[in-house]
Amino acid sequence: MAPIAVGDVVPDGTISFFDENDQLQTVSVHSLAAGKKVILFGVPGAFTPTCSMKHVPGFIEKAEELKSKGVDDIICFSVNDPFLMKAWGKTYPENKHVKFVADGSGEYTHLLGLELDLKDKGLGIRSRRFALLLDNLKVTVANLESGGGFTVSSADDILEAL
């Protein structure tokens, strides 16, 4: 399957997360992003070094600036279960704007065409690292990394594109 690209409408699918009342929610991506400008950034794994020390902190640190440029929501996405994503999110007490969501089975990652085979590292099929800017479900920026790289999908890269 070809990866999601600029001009595509993001496919609908379900993701899970814990809401502000600590209730597990499973919702459609379209219900979260319709009518909004949303950053959806994906990481290969929670608690992994590049994801935890570079990718996520960048979006947390730049969240106010991103919002000042019209971004409604910032969503961190990974092929993990929602309980793990909740625990990972709690390791960033300064976070006020990044929502941590789970694609537990990798089905939505498949719909995006962004699967990354990390079986040789004991991680199974994960998501490639990426950052998408969606405007009312349409992809306006698609910064997709190769392998485990971190060269085009940072918060600064999205800020430059806004």
Distance (Å, whole) CA 50 – CA 10:
26
Residue 90 tokens, joined:
């709690």
Distance (Å, whole) CA 145 – CA 151:
7
Distance (Å, whole) CA 45 – CA 37:
25
Is 76 part of the annotated catalytic residue set?
no
| Antiparallel, parallel or unpaired: β 73-78 and 37-43 | parallel
15 HSE (CA, 13 A, CB side): 29
> E-assigned strands of the chain?
14-18, 24-28, 37-43, 73-78, 98-102, 115-118, 124-127, 130-135, 138-144
Q: Which of 29, 39, 51, 74 is catalytic?
A: 51
Query: Active-site residue numbers?
Result: 51
